[in-house]
Amino acid sequence: MPSYKEEVVEWAISASRYGVKWWMPILLIGVSMLNTLTGGVFIWCVGIVQAVLFTVVGMSNGKVGVIVAPLCLTAGASIAAIMYIQVMKTSGADALLERTGAKDSKFLAQAQEWAKSWGALGLIFIQVNPLTPVPTAVLVVAGMLAKMDEVTVFSVLMAGKFLMLLLNSVAVYYVSEGQTVEECLRKLLKPEAEAQAEEKKDD
């Protein structure tokens, strides 16, 4: 019986055949919104699906896909961020953090301090810093509690997210040049098997 990881790999490969379909970017937007709304709690399933769809949309559509894939993820996150801001305004910070499962985030105080001291630059730093994986909900709360304008909070977070994703998309495009979508997905989701296959080729 195949393991969960093997099933994910096979599903990802079958999904790659539909990378150029018109509905694939819409699906990616929906998954991105779901992943953001749940605060990354279900990253073990929704996060994996998002990573797969991001790769499929990006690689299946050539240079256009390099831009389309980040735009889709940012669009999904934007919808979630707008909902976060509305919940924050109507129900408060505690309600938002509780609904997204980020109530006990150890990064909230740090994000709020940076937002209060450095404003937009502080939020961007916290967002792009790989050592502080802060959910979007926490960043929205930090910005709002720091008395930043909601439009500024939204614009800064979404611009920062898009730029990060664009850099990632460009890197994947050039690193995987000459590879098929299937080969790239296998390396992404099953690196051990790919490494063993390469060793056998060398032998």
In contact, 52 and 63? CB cutoff 8 Å:
no
pLDDT reported for residue 116: 84
CA distances to 8, 99, 176, 181 from 88, rounded to whole Å, are: 36, 11, 41, 40
Task: Decide: 48 and 15 in contact? Cβ < 8 Å.
Answer: no
**pLDDT beyond 50 at 195:** no
Start-to-end CA distance of the chain, whole Å, equals 30
Taking only the tens place, the pLDDT of each residue in 84-120 is 888 878 877 777 777 666 666 667 777 878 888 888 8
pLDDT mean across residues, the chain: 80
The model's pTM is 0.79
Q: What is the CA radius of gyration of the chain?
A: 18
Confidence of residue 200 (pLDDT cuts 50, 70, 90): very low
Q: Name the token pair of 199.
A: 């060793």
Q: What is the pLDDT of residues 19-63, one digit of tens each?
A: 889 999 999 999 999 888 876 667 777 888 888 899 899 988 888
Chain segment 130-176, per-residue pLDDT in tens: 666 677 777 888 888 788 888 999 999 999 889 999 999 998 888 88
Mean pLDDT over 67-79 rounds to 94
